[in-house]
A and B are shown apart, each in its own frame.
Chain A
Amino acid sequence: MHEVFVVLSSFLASSVEMVEALTIVLAVGLTRGWRSALSGTAAALILLAVIVALFGPVLSRLPLQPLRLIVGALLLIFGVQWWRKAMLRASGFKALHDEDATFAAETAAAQAQGAVRPGALDTYGVALTFKSVLLEGLEVAFIVVTFGASAQQLGLAAWGAGAALVVVLALGLLIHRPLSQVPENTLKFTVGVMLTTFGTFWAAEGAGAVWPGGDAAILGLLVVYAAASYGFVTWLRRRHTARAARTEVTA
């Protein structure tokens, strides 16, 4: 059960970041040429591989209890941010993340840089894809390395991220346009709840607490946080509706 959650969390979290990176790569590829987009992507992937190769093994050699405390706390803070934003988006207090809008904005910005000779390497396109893939890739690496090290399942976490890469790339090749069909906000909601669940479990264990039922407590936490999500979103939607009604009356 624990192993399934590790792979699933790693897969979902990585998918979200990869969709964001792929949207920008597609925008650059279509407007500034595929040579530039793929060169920037390849350079970022090489740098990411070096970073993961340097820091991944160091993490897995640290003693488990302090590692779970630090990594659990980081995952919990990080997961709560995703969860919180997803609830604000689901209730209307925050705008939904829109890959179509990102694609349009990136395309317009790339076109504004002027024409590129066919087949030539374009500095703007290379720099933009390099930066985007590196930043989103760092987020994937952070999730996979910390998650895998805490669960002592680095291989499984890496498999989850690898599967996400295959699925997102296949989707990108198939639809060849912004990945707005991928329900990114729903994914972020699920990932936020899962990261909060694992973060709570490992951080409390790292601080010395003993969970009733051992690993089964993960499932209990997941159920509690999922139920709380439903309650929070319902409450926020009511507040949003009431606020909209007040604004209408005032206007």
Chain B
Amino acid sequence: MKYVTGFFRFWYDFIVGDDWTVAAAVVAALIATALLAHFAGAWVVLPLAVLVFVAVSLWKASRS
């Protein structure tokens, strides 16, 4: 059991890292992109979301 939890913890830390809200924001932005996919400017959603959520995450990290 210890090895199974260790395995999942490793992949969680490896992919999601210190701030899970960034991962959640990426998933939310991808859902929004998929919903807006038939509009011409849908591509702008993801990079904008990345910049905003990275800024928020950095601001939170710099306060702690």
Contact = CB atoms under 8 A, between A and B. Distances in A.
Interface string B1-38: 00000000010001111110011001100100110111
A205 B42 CA distance: 10
A208 interface: yes
A73 B26 CA distance: 7
B37 A84 contact: no
Nearest to B43: A209
A81 interface: yes
A192 B50 CA distance: 13
Interface of chain A, helix or strand or loop or mixed? helix
Interface size class of B (residues with CB under 8 A): 20 to 34
Nearest to A232: B58
Interface string A200-242: 1001100111111000010001001100100010011001100
A207 B50 contact: no
B15 A212 contact: no
A203 B16 CA distance: 16
A200 B62 contact: no
A81 B51 contact: no
Contacts of B46: 76, 200, 203-204, 207, 209
B16 A81 contact: yes
B22 to A, nearest CB: 5
Given A84-B54, A208-B37, A77 B47 contact: no
Closest 4 CB pairs of A and B: A208-B37, A81-B17, A209-B42, A207-B33
Interface of B: 10, 14-19, 22-23, 26-27, 30, 33-34, 36-38, 40, 42-43, 45-47, 50-51, 53-55, 57-58, 61-62
Given A208-B42, A209-B43, 10 more contacts: A73-B30, A76-B46, A80-B26, A81-B15, A84-B22, A88-B58, A91-B62, A208-B37, A210-B42, A224-B51
21 contacts: A76-B46, A78-B17, A80-B22, A80-B53, A81-B15, A81-B16, A84-B17, A85-B18, A88-B58, A88-B62, A200-B47, A200-B50, A203-B33, A204-B47, A207-B37, A208-B33, A208-B42, A209-B36, A210-B40, A232-B55, A236-B58
